[in-house]
Structure 1
C-alpha cells in the first residue's frame, strides 16, 4: 500500500500575508499584469469576464471580521473578471462567531474553496489561518499590514508616470498598518519614505529597520513640512482606525499632520495625493486637497480591482 500524506497536511502554497511573501520581482509582475488587463478591458462592462478567464471554475472564500467596501467589492469583481466566483462570510453569520476555531475553519474552507481572503483585526489570526489551510491565504487587512492596498497604490503611482526606484514618498499622520506595508514596499521596490507622526505614533521599528537594511532612506520626523518637502507622493490615512474609540487625545495630537494646500505646496509641483479611503475630510485631509487636481484617490480605489486580480493570479501560480 502506497504511503500518502494526511489529508490535512498543507502542500506548499503561495500565501500573500505580506508583500515580502511575493518579493520585488513578483510585485513588479503583478503591476505589469494589472496594467495589461486593465487596458484590455477598457470600455467593457464591469462584470464581463476577461478574454482568457484564467480562474474559471475557481472559488474564493472571503472572510470578513472587519467592515469593508473596497476590499469586499474589488475581490468579488476581480474573481468575476478572472472567470471565477467568490463567497462572502462574516463572523455574524458563520460558526466563527460562535467559537469555531480558526484552525478548523481553515481546514474546512480548504476543502470547499480554492483560496481564502481574510480581513481581520489581529495579524496572528491570518497567520494561523495560513498555517492550517492548504490553499492560498490572502491578507485583506490586519492590524499589522495591508499589502493588497499597496499593490494598488504602486499601480496608481506608475499610472501617473512616476518610476518607483528613487521615488520620494511622504507619509503624514498615524504610523499604522498601511504605512507598514509602504515601508515593506520601499524595501522591495527601492524607494524612500519620509514619515511624519506625533511622538508615540511612529511605525513599528521592525519595518523601519527592514527598509533601511534594504537600502531605502527612511526619515522619521515630527515635522510635517520636513516630510512633505520635495515629495513625489503624499499619503495619509484616517487618524482613528476601525474599531478604535474616537479618542480626542489622538485627534488633537494629529492636527498638525492634516494634509492641506499649504502642506501640499512643500511637495513637488507634480506630486500626487493618495488615501486608501474611507476619508474623513476635514480631519486627516482638507477638502481642497481631497477634491483637488493632485488627488488620485478614486483612481487608487478603482485600482484595487486590478491589483486584486494580479495578486490572485500570483497566488494560483499563474503569474511570476
Structure 2
C-alpha cells in the first residue's frame, strides 16, 4: 500500500533527556494509526516532528512524499492538525470560528457550514465558542482541522477530559472521517479508544517504540490469564483459589476475580457450585499489553 508517513530513526533531545530516541514506523494511506504511551513517552514530540512543528535532531521523515521540515508550505493544505490544547478566536460563534479557519485555505463558507453539520454542531452554530461544552469544543476543533478536506489528519489526545458520552460521539465522527478515505494519526491514553478505532498502534515509552501492530495481534501475543469475576460472597476466597484450573483469586470486597488459563474448567466448576450469577469473563486487553510493556508505576 502507498505510505502516507515514513519515519526512520527519529531523535530529539532536550538536555540529558532523549524525548524521541530512534523512532521508526510507517503509516499507510487510509490507515487509522495510534501512538500510545504514558506521560513523557515522547508521543507529542514525535507527532510535532512529523507535522513539521518541531525540528528533529536526527533521522528522516516524509509526509505525503514530502519533507515536513523546514516548514513546508506545500503540505499545509494537505494535512489537518488538532493539537492537545485547542485555542479559538475569542467571542466568535462556532460558525464564525469555522468560517474563519476555512477562509485561511480559500474554502467557501458553505463548506464550513456543511462541516458543522458533519460534526453534529449545526444547532450550536450561533453559540460563542466560550459557551460550548468540552465535547462540543473538541468537535469544533476537529472540524477546523478537517474544513479544508485534508488527506492526512493528526489528532493529539482528542478525547482527553471528555465524559463517556462525548467520547463515544466523537468516536463516531472519527470513524466516519476515516471511512471517507482520510488517513488519521491519533495519540491517546485510552486503551479502549485505541482498540475501538485503530488499525495499528505503536506503544512508546522513554522515547522509543516498544511494540507496533494491530491491537488484536498484540493482545494475542500476550501470555495473560483470563479473568472470571462474580460478586463478593458468591464463593469463599479459599474455595475459589482451589477450583480446578484456577491460577489465583482476589477479592476486593466488591468482586471476586479468578485468574485462569483454563476458563472452561473454572466456569464448569463454578456452575457445579451454582456460583455463576452475574459472572463476567474477560480476556486480555490492550491495557494488559500496555502495562506489561510500560509498567504500573505512577507517571507524573
With normalisation by structure 1, the TM-score equals 0.30
Write 1 or 2 for the structure with the bigger share of helix.
1
For normalisation by structure 2, the TM-score amounts to 0.32
Higher share in strand? 2
